[in-house]
Amino acid sequence: MDDALPVNRPSALRHGRAALAVSFFAQGALFAMLVTRIPAIQDRYGISDGLLPVFLAAVPILAGAGSVATEQLVRRVRPSVVLRWVQPVVGLVLVGLGAGDRMWTAAVTLALFGVCVGGLDASMNMLGVSLQREYGQSIMLGFHASYSLGGIIGASLAWSGAHWHVSLLAMYGPAVLVLIPLTLTASRWYRDAQSGTALTQGRPDGTAEDGAQQVVMRVLLPLCLVMAFAYIGDSTVSNWSAKYLQDTLHSSEQLSTVPYAVYMVTTLIGRSVGDFGVRRFGAVPVVRLGTVVAMAGFAVVAVAPGAWVGMLGFTLLGLGLCVIVPQTFAAAGRLFPGASDSAIARLNIFNYVGFLVGSPLVGALGDAWSYRWAMLVPMALVGATLFYARTFAAEPAGYGVGHERPRTVDVG
């Protein structure tokens, strides 16, 4: 099958792809509207600076618990069912957070948000990996590009709300009123793994006696580390880019808000074209290139003499880091084709590990050492992906132009 030749796929498959892209988009928008309005949430509920890190740490911890629970849940119901109902709950929780004014309301809604986001992220990527397997070519980066697009729009709405002093409820309410019907409508076309698409043949490292493949953490661990390192890099940008530009590179307050926006845009661009790179060259070269570009970005940020060079570094970071996470999920599906849902749920936990570790790690190193040198630590951690790059390889028989398979059943 040549990549240049058109492939006629069933309409149900194409509709499933479009529907899942809608879900990724909505999640990106909802999450961005939460994290970019943390200062307003803190003010509304009177959360002290000392207590705020506890609230923020609880969300990824509970999200990890939600991912674990989803692994158990999808043994009884399909991932599409989980996604169909947990996504509206995330939106309603956000509205509850905007409507409340008591501390216990903030605690309960943020806890529910964390648990539900864990289930949402896990089930979305389960569907993405199984759909990619049916497609027979790389499409995971496209789903995550939809997430990035949603994040840009959500962050823009949040900026507008802050600029025009719109209340949290007035911002969250209309957005959720649009997104919940949109995702519920799209959920009609979600497509779970079809019979025969998940391999169950024996593997020496992960097959039970009854023929059902089991996830072996020793085999999955390299991808778990890559996931954590990628999110340490991502959280460094989201939490420290503005402070770094303003305090270390002496930019204006207005200019300091630009790097994260640039990072989001370059992430969208990189993911929009990344699937074509994987189809043409394979996952391993794309992941290696992304890792090297991300390392170069951190290095440029660390040595930047001024704000504009620093923004160049954050631009490189967006282009480099954006390919790693989607390909890590896809690689887990290839490693455990007969148990991809369980593998993805466990791998997804390390998304939150990286998010939880990254910000305090860079902050502690910056305070104790310097923020310039602190940037070299996530650079080194992201660089460790190069040692695990072979884990992203497809099976020996490539499919497409030498890298993608002619049979859909083998694609992670």
Query: Is 56 in the same domain as 139?
Result: yes
User: Do 192 and 206 fall into the same domain?
Assistant: no
- Residue 321's pLDDT is 96
**Residue 1 forms part of a structural domain:** no
The pLDDT of residue 212 is 55
| 3 falls within a domain | no
In a domain, 167, yes or no: yes
211 and 351 co-located in one domain: yes
> 244 and 150: one domain?
no
208 shares a domain with 335: yes
- The CATH number for 96's domain is 1.20.1250.20
Structure tokens at 271: 């993911």
Residue numbers of the domain that contains 38: 9-196
CA gap 116, 151 in Å, rounded: 18
Domain boundary among 155, 178, 196: 196
Give pLDDT tens digits along the chain (412 positions).
344 445 677 888 999 999 999 999 999 999 999 988 888 898 899 999 889 888 888 999 999 999 999 999 999 999 999 999 999 999 999 999 999 999 999 999 999 999 999 999 999 999 999 999 999 899 999 999 999 999 999 988 888 888 898 999 999 999 999 999 999 999 999 999 874 444 433 343 444 333 457 888 999 999 999 999 999 999 998 888 878 888 889 887 767 778 888 898 999 999 999 999 999 999 999 999 999 999 999 999 999 999 999 999 999 999 999 999 999 999 999 999 989 999 999 999 999 999 999 888 988 898 888 889 999 999 999 999 999 999 998 654 333 333 344 333 333 3
Q: What pTM was computed for the model?
A: 0.88
The total number of structural domains that make up the chain: 2
Residue at a domain's end among 196, 224, 244: 196
Claim to verify: residue 207 and residue 117 sit in the same structural domain:
no
Asked if residue 184 and residue 202 are part of one domain, the reply reads no
Residues 229 and 175 in one domain: no
**Where does a domain end: 162, 196, 230?**
196
Same domain flag for 184 and 233: no
Instruction: For residues 133 and 245, state if they share a domain.
Output: no
Q: What is the pLDDT of residues 360-404, one digit of tens each?
A: 898 889 888 888 999 999 999 999 999 999 999 865 433 333 334
150 lies in the same domain as 265: no
- With a pLDDT cut of 70, the percent of the chain lying above it is 89
Residues 161 and 181 occupy one common structural domain: yes
